[in-house]
Chains A and B, each alone.
Chain A
C-alpha cells in the first residue's frame, strides 16, 4: 500500500529545512527525510502534527492510491 505525500512542497512553502521542520514536529531530520522519500509512513499523531505545522489538513499532505481505499457499497 503506497502512501503518497506532499510534505516537501509544504516544507518549501514554509521555507523550512528538514532539521527545522523536524525540530517543530519533535522528530529527527532523518525521519522527515524518510517521510518525504516515502520510505516511512508516520503515525497518526505525527501526521496530525505535521499537518498542523503546515496549516493544512492531513489529507492535503498524505494520500493513498484509490485502489487502496475501502469504499463501502451503496445499499
Chain B
C-alpha cells in the first residue's frame, strides 16, 4: 500500500471518530459548568461542615481502624487460605478441577491480603494525621493494633505464597527476599509470563483511568476545601511514573534483539 493510500485511510479514520470526540467535549463542558456552579454553592455552605465532620470521624476512628481493617479483610483472607489448604490436601495428581479451585481460593486470599495491607497503610495515615488531636494512649493503642495487624498480614501473605509454591513446585522466591518479584518471574514459564503481562496491562489501563478520575476530584476539590494543589500533584506523580515506566519498557522492548 502506498504512503498516499495509508494517509487517506488514517484521515478517514480520524474524520469518522471526530464527531464522537467533539460530542464528548461538549458533554464535558456542560458537566464542568454544572460542577462549577455546584462547587461555588458547596464552598459557601457545606465545605467547612464536611471537613469538621471528617475531622471528628478520623479522631474517633484512629485507634480502632486497624481492628476494622483486620476484621473486614485480614480475617477473611486467613479463612480463605485455610479453606484453600484444606481443599488442596490429598489432591490426586490429575484432579485438575480440585487444583484449580484450591488455586482460585488462594488467589482470592492473596487479593484480600493486599486489601488488608492497603487498609493498614490508610489506618497509619489516619493515626499520623490525628497524632496531636487525640489522647496519647489512643495513639499508642492504635499503633499497637496496627503492628499486631501488620504482623498478621505479613504472616498470611507468606503462608499464601508458600501455599502457591507447594501447589507449583517450580516456583521460586521468598516474600522476605528483596528480589522476590524477580525470582518469582524467572520461575514462570512462557504462558505464565504472558498472563502476567496481560494482567499488568489491564492494571496499567485501570490505573490511568483511576488517575484521571482522582485528578479531577482532587483538582476540583481544592476549590471548596482549600487543601492546595499537592493532592492533585501526588496523583499526577503516580500517573507520570506509570506512563514513563510503560514508555521506557516499550522503547527497550523495541530495541531487544
Which one, B93, B188, B191, contacts A34 given CB within 8 A? B191
Q: Contact between B93 and A19 (Cβ–Cβ < 8 Å)?
A: yes
Flag whether A15 is at the interface (Cβ < 8 A).
Answer: no
Q: Contact between B189 and A27 (Cβ–Cβ < 8 Å)?
A: yes
Flag whether B192 is at the interface (Cβ < 8 A).
Answer: yes
Q: Contact between A31 and B93 (Cβ–Cβ < 8 Å)?
A: no
In A26-74, which residues have CB < 8 Å from any B CB? Answer: 26-31, 33-34, 40, 42-43, 45-46
A31 and B170 alpha carbons, distance in the complex (Å): 12
A43, chain B: closest CB distance, angstroms? 6
Q: Contact between A46 and B190 (Cβ–Cβ < 8 Å)?
A: yes
Nearest CB in chain B to that of A35: its residue: B191
Chain B 81-94 interface mask (CB, 8 Å, partner A; 1/0): 00000000000011
How many A residues, CB 8 Å from partner? Answer: 18
Flag whether A14 is at the interface (Cβ < 8 A).
Answer: no
A65 and B222 alpha carbons, distance in the complex (Å): 60
Chain B residues whose CB sits within 8 angstroms of the CB of A17 once the complex forms: 93-94
Chain B residues whose CB sits within 8 angstroms of the CB of A46 once the complex forms: 190
A45 and B189 alpha carbons, distance in the complex (Å): 12
Chain B residues whose CB sits within 8 angstroms of the CB of A28 once the complex forms: 168, 170, 188-189, 191-192
Nearest CB in chain A to that of B94: its residue: A17
Q: Contact between B96 and A33 (Cβ–Cβ < 8 Å)?
A: yes
Q: Contact between B191 and A31 (Cβ–Cβ < 8 Å)?
A: yes
B169, chain A: closest CB distance, angstroms? 8
In B175-193, which residues have CB < 8 Å from any A CB? Answer: 188-192
Q: A18-B94, A28-B168, A30-B192 are in contact. List 19 more A-B contacts (CB 8 A).
A: A17-B93, A17-B94, A19-B93, A22-B170, A23-B170, A27-B189, A27-B190, A28-B170, A28-B188, A28-B189, A30-B168, A31-B190, A31-B191, A31-B192, A33-B96, A40-B191, A42-B190, A43-B190, A46-B190
* Listed A/B pairs (16) with beta-carbon separation below 8 Å: A17-B94, A18-B93, A18-B94, A19-B93, A23-B170, A26-B189, A28-B168, A28-B170, A28-B189, A30-B168, A30-B191, A31-B191, A33-B96, A34-B191, A42-B190, A42-B191
Q: List the interface of chain A (C-beta within 8 A of B).
A: 17-19, 22-23, 26-31, 33-34, 40, 42-43, 45-46
